[in-house]
């Protein structure tokens, strides 16, 4: 039970459909062996191939593993303590919103690095345009609500809001500032 014991090992397993995540406490050499044994089992018994580019071994404290669109890591902070003086977060699993996802979503609403109007929705009425933007943002936030850094989506919110105002302004031949003041 002592994590500082050289013989201490722990293996946790999470599966959702065809996505798997193994959490292993122990030496990297044993993690490589587990990976090889898993690949052999999949190949010999199930006639499946393990994707080598997706199957990674990462150190959970220094790197992040991707799983179901989240980035997963293990927290470590000796400064956060409970009222009794014990470390509060060491070893706790944390979920994060991937930076690449935020950049990709922002790119859908920008042109040359600035928020832009969306001509594909400009012919809808105002209520539908606002509803489309709201549904897209809410869907993303609801999915990533479990992440500890969901606040990072605030930049996306600003880009989407500005893009929506520019779309409405373009439709009504006005300015985004006037549209924002009107609504």
Confidence category of residue 74, pLDDT binned at 50, 70, 90:
confident
3-state secondary structure of 23: strand
How far does Cα 15 stand from its chain's mean position? 17
Which residues, including other chains, have CB under 8 Å from residue 17's CB and lie 6 or more apart?
Answer: none
3: phi > 0 → left, psi -120 to 50 → alpha, else beta; which?
alpha
pLDDT in tens, 83-112: 787 766 667 788 899 999 999 999 999 999
pLDDT digits (tens, 9 = 90+) for 150-171: 999 999 999 999 999 999 999 9
Q: Is-contact 156 102, C-beta < 8 A?
A: yes
């Amino acid at each position: 039970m002592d994590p500082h014991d050289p013989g201490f090992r722990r293996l946790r397993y999470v599966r959702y459909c065809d996505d798997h995540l193994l959490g292993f406490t122990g030496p990297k050499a044993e993690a490589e062996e587990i990976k090889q044994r898993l690949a052999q089992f999949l190949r010999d018994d199930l006639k499946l191939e393990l994707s080598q580019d997706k199957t990674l071994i990462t150190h959970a404290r220094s790197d992040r593993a991707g799983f179901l669109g989240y980035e997963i890591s293990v927290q470590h902070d000796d400064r956060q303590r409970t009222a009794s003086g014990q470390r509060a977060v060491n070893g706790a699993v944390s979920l994060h919103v991937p930076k690449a996802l935020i950049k990709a979503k922002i790119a859908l609403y920008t042109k040359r690095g600035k928020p832009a109007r969306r001509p594909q929705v400009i012919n809808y009425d105002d209520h539908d345009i606002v509803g489309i933007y709201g549904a897209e943002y809410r869907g993303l936030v609801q999915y990533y609500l479990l992440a500890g850094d969901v606040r990072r989506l605030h930049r996306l919110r600003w880009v989407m809001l500005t893009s929506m105002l520019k779309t409405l302004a373009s439709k009504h031949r006005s300015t985004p500032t006037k549209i924002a003041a009107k609504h």
